[in-house]
Structure 1
Amino acid sequence: MTLYPQGVIIGKFYPPHAGHRHLITTAAAQSQKLAVVVLGNRFENITVADRVRWLAAEFDETNVTVIGMPNDCPEDYHSAAIWKAHDEALRLALKVSGITKVDAVFSSEEYGAELAAHFGAVHVMVDHARTAYPVSGTLCRDDLTAAWRNIIKPARQDLAVRVILVGAESTGTSTLTTALMEHYRGRYPELVDVPEYGRQYTYDKFAAARAENPDAVLSDLVWTSEDFSIIGERQNEMENEAAARCPLVIADTDSLATSLFERLYIGEGSYGSYLALTQLPHRDIYLITDDDGVDFEDDGWREAEHRRAEMTEWFKEELTRAGHSWILVTGDQERRMATATEIIDLIIAQRTRFTSPPWATRTVLAGA
């Protein structure tokens, strides 16, 4: 097999998907070095920087270098002047990255041959019929939910709409989470439960305590910063696992809430959940369940009845301080659901709408 000293791939990667991964993997296997150039424009609502970051994460520690290049030039494959404009954008993107000679251009498109000729390089066609991976950026943009598993995992983590519910003990957080999950599961069959891991951890910790002392009661548990480190880390993992499977995540708490419960149980000087908090995934909206007007229900595992109002205020303060978008959901269950679904529907519509310039072409797969 020929091993080209310097291979190049160009594309929009809007968004990057399994077909792109196959193209890059194939080209990387046939190149000593491979440059993947992301050419995006201002009319697309995923930034070039995000696409570069996702591809770089997907191909970490390989011979692949991902380069971003804003390119607002119109497309016209029949115009020599437009071809030159695109060629120059690509040439400069490569030049400032230290690449002055291209040996092979890899693509799945017919225009790859002409582009390669402009650079005095060989054109290597990869899966032109899209039989290996019958997916395209057009299909992903048309129906993000149906195409979700075809989008590379780093992109899924950022593209997923994340709705996080938080609140003090016995303020209806789990009740509202369950209702929202039931409401949206018809549209999102792959919607994954993201429960409060701290509750399961408490069950397990108490069971271990009872195994040592059958007379132990809940108030005997001694909490440590390590406990909250484990809880926060696992809460992040559960949320990210859900995002990998579905473009909508509805989580019953998160690692930010873990940090506040750590404050409640241990005090201001404990920072076990700090690392998890620094790795908090992106958020679209926090919904804080109001304690006002909600009776405290002691299910045998709750100990903070008299600090509910204080904790509710903590959530408001910390989310505001961190710059997160949050809504206090209050009133009866019907009002809370109405508030939640109205904003969630608007966020979904905004986050799943892909914009393109008027000259953008659509990829139509064979048999489609």
Structure 2
Amino acid sequence: MSRFALGLVVGKFAPLHHGHLHLIDTAAAQCERVLLLSWCQPEPARCEAAARERWLQACRPQHEAWVFDDASLAQRCAERGLAPQALPPDASDDLTQQRFLAWLLAEVLPQRPDAMFASEDYLVPCAALLSRVFGHEVTPVLVDRARSTVPVSATRIRQQPVAHRHHLPAPVWADWVPRVCLLGGESSGKSTLAQALAERHGTPFVAEYGRELWERQGGVLLEPDLLHIAEEQVRREDAAAARAGPFLACDTSPLTTLFYALDQFGRADPALMALAERRYDLVVLCEPDFPFVQDGTRRDAGFRQRQTDWYVTQLAQRGITPLRASGPVAARVRLVEQALGLD
């Protein structure tokens, strides 16, 4: 039988890692129900409340989870007829954080845990404060204080995510994996570079969906096809991200599709223009110094140069400085590795 009716786990989960999951699972083994609470102020990059909520839902959907930012806290308080409090800054002392937690549990949710699980020294005084507030014992359960089961911290992961990626569940790594976008005119070697990078580092790469669809439709693309191409390219990126190794190589992006929309039809769907603003951790612009190979589907070297020049202008307008990759494939691979800190 479970020792406790309701167990409490509080954490920033920024990002959620296997140590957090071990803590949650330890609580679940001893409790009928587990309540997960998360807030942080400020939120670290890539750890916004929506992301943390999504990770918890993906990794432990069986537990009730509340992830608060200022907006969601205000909304919940309005639903309860309460005046919202501000989230306490991360730099606040332990007593401030504990009083905020007690208010959340007593007034905002409301929930009354029987036990609290944590791996930190604040656990015992926090459980004692909750016991006084609720008038019943909230048992502190210390879990793996030495961090021997999962020897990592969220701080170390944020500092070196690639080095600690094995500590991140797949849904979390999908949001953290460095995405490398390869751009370039026709026959500039970007597909060759994407494949070479993927093979060298044992990671998937995302091929150019537009060419796949073009071949499937017998060399004909209609204007509505271009928005579909960009949406499918993004969908395939997101699907591959959870399986990626140290990075994800993306052969082209919606910016490429925008070029062809403007070139072929003189206009672009607003949704396609929005997708073309998609950001990547590294943008590589392949120089047109490969010998131009006419495979029967391409235009000519002049078009390739015009396309390259368009990328240069568009990236500059977006404040993006690309890595200019030139020379043979091996040299280009080394450039990308150096930029990613993998050399």
- When normalised by structure 2's length, the TM-score is 0.71
Higher relative contact order (CA 8 A, sep 6+): 1
1:117 paired to 2:128: yes
For 2:46 and 2:162, how far apart are their aligned partners in 1?
23
3-state DSSP class of the match of 1:273? helix
Residue of structure 2 aligned with 1:162, choices 172, 176, 179 = 179
- Once the two structures are TM-superposed, the CA of residue 15 in structure 1 deviates from its matched residue by 2.8
Which amino acid in the other structure matches residue 16 of structure 1? L
**Distance 1:265-1:168 versus aligned 2 partners, 3 A rule:** same
1:88 paired to 2:96: yes
Percent identity over the alignment? 23
CA contact 1:168–1:308 (8 Å) conserved in 2 = yes
Structure 1 match to 2:266: 267
CA displacement, residues 25-58 of structure 1 (integer Å, 9 cap, x when unaligned): 8669726xx46134578xxxx8177253322223
Which amino acid in the other structure matches residue 171 of structure 1? S
CA contact 1:283–1:324 (8 Å) conserved in 2 = no
- Once the two structures are TM-superposed, the CA of residue 271 in structure 1 deviates from its matched residue by 4.9
Report which stretch shifted further, 53-62 or 155-164: 53-62
**Distance 1:152-1:87 versus aligned 2 partners, 3 A rule:** farther
Which amino acid in the other structure matches residue 38 of structure 2? V
Which amino acid in the other structure matches residue 20 of structure 1? H
- Once the two structures are TM-superposed, the CA of residue 254 in structure 1 deviates from its matched residue by 1.6
Report which stretch shifted further, 61-70 or 336-345: 61-70
CA contact 2:127–2:139 (8 Å) conserved in 1 = yes
Structure 1 match to 2:117: 107
1:138 paired to 2:153: yes
Structure 2 match to 1:81: none
3-state DSSP class of the match of 1:47? coil
CA contact 2:210–2:229 (8 Å) conserved in 1 = yes
CA displacement, residues 287-320 of structure 1 (integer Å, 9 cap, x when unaligned): 11122x4332111222354322221122122222
For 1:3 and 1:144, how far apart are their aligned partners in 2?
36
Residue of structure 1 aligned with 2:287, choices 276, 287, 290 = 290
**Distance 1:146-1:241 versus aligned 2 partners, 3 A rule:** farther
For 2:205 and 2:90, how far apart are their aligned partners in 1?
41
**What is the root-mean-square deviation of aligned Cα atoms in Å?**
3.8
For 1:49 and 1:272, how far apart are their aligned partners in 2?
24
- Once the two structures are TM-superposed, the CA of residue 159 in structure 1 deviates from its matched residue by 1.7
Q: How many residues align?
A: 303
CA contact 1:15–1:155 (8 Å) conserved in 2 = yes
For 2:53 and 2:130, how far apart are their aligned partners in 1?
25
**Distance 1:108-1:285 versus aligned 2 partners, 3 A rule:** same
Structure 2 match to 1:250: 249
Structure 1 match to 2:227: 229
Which amino acid in the other structure matches residue 119 of structure 1? L
CA contact 2:261–2:268 (8 Å) conserved in 1 = no
- When normalised by structure 1's length, the TM-score is 0.67
For 2:269 and 2:96, how far apart are their aligned partners in 1?
55
**Distance 1:276-1:153 versus aligned 2 partners, 3 A rule:** farther
1:339 paired to 2:335: yes
CA displacement, residues 140-175 of structure 1 (integer Å, 9 cap, x when unaligned): 947855863652455323321111111110112122
Which amino acid in the other structure matches residue 91 of structure 2? D
1:314 paired to 2:310: yes
* Structure 2 residues without counterparts, runs of 5 or longer: 70-87, 132-136
Alignment of 1:185-264 (within 5 A): 185=201, 189=202, 191-206=203-218, 218=219, 221=220, 223-245=221-243, 246-264=245-263
For 1:270 and 1:102, how far apart are their aligned partners in 2?
48
For 2:40 and 2:236, how far apart are their aligned partners in 1?
34
1:70 paired to 2:120: no
3-state DSSP class of the match of 2:213? helix
- Once the two structures are TM-superposed, the CA of residue 71 in structure 1 deviates from its matched residue by 2.0
